[in-house]
């Protein structure tokens, strides 16, 4: 049996983990505790360390059975073959989970993004440069002008059309 990385529908990680466990397969969903702030309250929540992914240890012949589960999208693959993960990687992720870690969205230059917080909230633009791991420069062009602003990476979200 090998470890595979299963891509899930948004917010289906925990449900899929339970369904896989019910089928008697080993499944691993690394979690983290985050603090969310709303206008009227602050709450601590458990959420997946890697949203949209679940680690599954299954025999190769049973992959199709997992793909039939609701919430399952597909296995992460390379050149048409599902990626096989080493046991050491799973152990390393388990060690990471024990510490206060934060996964940061991975952005590429040229991506369309929206600023979600701050003075420019609601503006859409194109990511033109990543200056450091926490700062990005965005091109804002709602009025057919280029305006570069520097915002924290936690203040943007990827636009999906």
In this structure, is the dihedral angle defined by the CA atoms of residues 58, 71, 17 and 23, taken in order, positive or negative? negative
Q: Which residues pair with 47 in a beta bridge?
A: 32
Edge to edge, the sheet with strand 2-8 lists: 26-28, 53-58, 2-8, 72-75
Question: Mind listing the pLDDT tens digit of every residue in the chain (161 residues)?
Answer: 899 999 999 999 999 999 999 999 999 999 988 777 777 888 888 889 888 999 999 998 999 999 999 999 999 988 888 889 999 999 988 988 887 655 566 777 788 888 888 777 887 778 877 766 545 665 555 555 566 777 777 778 888 76
pLDDT, position 2:
93
Half-sphere exposure of 98 (CA within 13 A, CB side): 5
Half-sphere exposure of 5 (CA within 13 A, CB side): 17
pLDDT, position 23:
95
In this structure, is the dihedral angle defined by the CA atoms of residues 64, 68, 73 and 51, taken in order, positive or negative? negative
Alpha carbon 134 to its chain centroid, in Å, reads 17
| Residue pair 136/156 in contact by the 8 Å Cβ criterion | yes
pLDDT, position 134:
46
C-alpha dihedral (81, 86, 90, 92), degrees to nearest 10: -130
Q: How far apart are CA 83 and CA 101, in angstroms?
A: 25
pLDDT, position 101:
59
Token reading at 134 = 């926490």
Q: How far apart are CA 140 and CA 129, in angstroms?
A: 13
């Amino acid at each position: 049996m090998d470890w595979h990385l299963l891509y899930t529908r948004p917010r289906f990680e925990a449900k899929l983990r339970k369904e896989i466990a019910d089928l008697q397969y080993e499944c691993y969903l690394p979690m983290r505790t985050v603090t969310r702030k709303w206008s009227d309250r602050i709450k601590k929540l458990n959420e997946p360390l890697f949203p949209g992914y679940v680690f599954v240890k299954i025999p190769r012949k049973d992959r199709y059975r997992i793909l039939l589960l609701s919430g399952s999208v597909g296995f992460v693959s390379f050149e048409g073959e599902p990626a096989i993960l080493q046991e050491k990687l799973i152990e390393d992720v388990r060690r990471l989970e024990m510490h206060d870690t934060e996964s940061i969205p991975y952005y590429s230059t040229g991506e369309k993004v929206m600023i979600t917080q701050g003075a420019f909230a609601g503006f859409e633009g194109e990511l033109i440069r990543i200056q450091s791991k926490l700062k990005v420069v965005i091109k804002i062009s709602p009025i057919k002008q280029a305006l570069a602003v520097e915002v924290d990476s936690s203040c943007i979200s990827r636009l999906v059309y």
